[in-house]
Structure 1
Amino acid sequence: MIFFCGDVHGQFGHIITAVKQHRPDAVVLLGDLQAPQPLETVLAEILDLTEVWYIHGNHDTDGTRDYCNLWDSGMSDRNLHGRVVEIAGVRVAGLGGIFRGHIWMPPAHPIYSSPEHYLQHCGKANQWRGGLPRKQRSSIFYVDYQALTHERADVLVTHEAPSCHPWGFSALDRLGQALHIKKSFHGHQHDSLDYRDHDARLGFQAYGVALRAIMDENGNHIVVGE
């Protein structure tokens, strides 16, 4: 069984408790972790009990601490962004971050299709660590989205929501359809709406996981959240 965890914003106690109680095969965090220490330190109590995977959210690039405790952590290789990984027998595709208007805001065409394209125009003074400005490291670039459309997966995890959410994006509907997924899980919106009326149109079951909530892979609430 896989648990999908909504935005935690620095509070991980409910995940640790749920893992100790239920012993899932894996947990996937849906962005906005904002870990107060390196992620392997925060989750040290459960790393021998389950696999931990994640995607990043927009707030994971708010500050240097947020960024470093994720991307520079000993678990940086557990970021699912832009790839498909088999987790507990399930092929899971990940797309972290959010759409930003000055990078790409679907349905409009991308302004900058890739990080390299953006770096050609942002100015060297705006670079961070010799590359993208920190904030833009949680922007969705078309090149990462497009690469995933050539993959196949059972589940898609995103920070942004598909179009079944009032603030969602049909671009994520199309991504799920291209991947031939059966289910998708997202965070970001801090709510858990009933999407069942949209399943036939989407071609897959979509679930929003609320703030500090936990769902299993069948859409059952393990922790209702806030």
Structure 2
Amino acid sequence: MPHHRLTTPRILFAGDPHGRFEHLFAVVRARRPQALVLLGDIEAPVPLQELMAPIEALGTQAWFIPGNHDTDRAPSWDALQAWPERNLHGRVVEVAGVRIAGLVGIFRDEIWRPDSPVEPRFASLQAYLADLRLRTHPNDWARKQQGLSVIKHHSSLFPEDFDALAALDAEVLVTHEAPSCHPRGFALIDDLARALRVHILFHGHHHDCLDYSGSTVALGFRAHGVGLRGISALDGTVLRPGELDAARALLRTPSMPGVPPAD
């Protein structure tokens, strides 16, 4: 793949919207990209396809990965479930001529922490649900499936998610969790990006935009965090700074302590 394809800003990447979308409409109207990728924590108040209709009408395809807050409430999760064909999680899709891989949500202690010596409790969402069903009275199972304790783990990361993606090939990886160059990131995200042989990775979740340029050689790919309601182009150029980027300017060296916890 010619490298110049990844420096053409025809795909935009949007940091966590958390229920606000006016900025997305404004940037898309001004830039007219071919695609917009939402990096999780969307918290759509209505079905996402309906919400993104004004963007699609301008010729911009909307794509997404779910974030941890998208499973906090059943209506938020249902809003994403209504548009499965635009969910990038667990697959590689050619978007505007670029192969993009997606990875849902976050690591959760009750499922798996890859930085812990403790083995994963469950290898997959299906294994978790099967175990839960065994521990649930049949009369309560239908109610339990609709409960937030089950919905929550649709945005949890499982070993199976990594195994399935690692066998594929992509140019860009979008994740909610961060790679290891972020103070609260994970080396396993690095490993997945290298297995996919991507050139660049975009993540949300942490609501900041740290300078990862010093880590590029060690990582083997370029990494970019997109801040709260920020928007970046495919070459990493920040088109709209995140709302907390300026306040966190002193924390833009990833080795510095004091980076706020993930939201």
TM value normalised by structure 1: 0.95
Q: Does 1:76 align with 2:84?
A: yes
Deviation per residue, 1:48-76 (Å, 9 max, x gap): 220110000000000111111111x2x22
Q: Which of residues 39, 47, 52 is equivalent to 1:38?
A: 47
TM value normalised by structure 2: 0.82
Moved more, 155-164 or 96-105: 96-105
| Equivalent residue number for residue 145 of structure 1 | 162
Q: Does 1:113 align with 2:113?
A: no
Q: Does 1:15 align with 2:33?
A: no
Matches of 2:12 and 2:30 in 1, distance apart?
Answer: 12
Matches of 2:90 and 2:25 in 1, distance apart?
Answer: 26
Q: What amino acid sits opposite 1:86 in the alignment?
A: E
Q: What amino acid sits opposite 1:34 in the alignment?
A: E
Shift of 1:144: 1.4
Moved more, 39-48 or 138-147: 39-48
Q: What amino acid sits opposite 2:65 in the alignment?
A: I
Question: SS of 1:45's equivalent?
Answer: helix
| Equivalent residue number for residue 90 of structure 1 | 98
| Equivalent residue number for residue 186 of structure 1 | 203
Q: CA RMSD in A?
A: 1.6
Question: SS of 1:46's equivalent?
Answer: helix
The sequence identity of aligned pairs, in percent, is 49
| Equivalent residue number for residue 222 of structure 1 | 239
2:103–2:176 CA contact under 8 A, matched in 1: yes
Q: What amino acid sits opposite 1:89 in the alignment?
A: G
Matches of 2:179 and 2:94 in 1, distance apart?
Answer: 22
| Equivalent residue number for residue 218 of structure 2 | 201
Q: What amino acid sits opposite 1:111 in the alignment?
A: R
Matches of 1:32 and 1:79 in 2, distance apart?
Answer: 13
2:209–2:242 CA contact under 8 A, matched in 1: no
Shift of 1:129: 4.2
Matches of 1:162 and 1:29 in 2, distance apart?
Answer: 18
Matches of 1:197 and 1:111 in 2, distance apart?
Answer: 35
Question: SS of 1:3's equivalent?
Answer: strand
Deviation per residue, 1:155-206 (Å, 9 max, x gap): 0000000000000000000000000000000000000000001001100000
Shift of 1:41: 2.0
Matches of 1:116 and 1:69 in 2, distance apart?
Answer: 22
Matches of 1:9 and 1:22 in 2, distance apart?
Answer: 22
Deviation per residue, 1:33-55 (Å, 9 max, x gap): 00011112222211122011000
**Unaligned segments of structure 2, at least 5 residues:** 1-9, 244-263
**Unaligned segments of structure 1, at least 5 residues:** none
Q: Does 1:63 align with 2:73?
A: yes
Moved more, 26-35 or 105-114: 105-114
Greater radius of gyration (CA): 2
Matches of 2:126 and 2:236 in 1, distance apart?
Answer: 38
2:104–2:175 CA contact under 8 A, matched in 1: yes
Mapping 1:94-105, distance limit 5 Å: 94-105=102-113
Q: Which of residues 159, 162, 171 is equivalent to 1:154?
A: 171
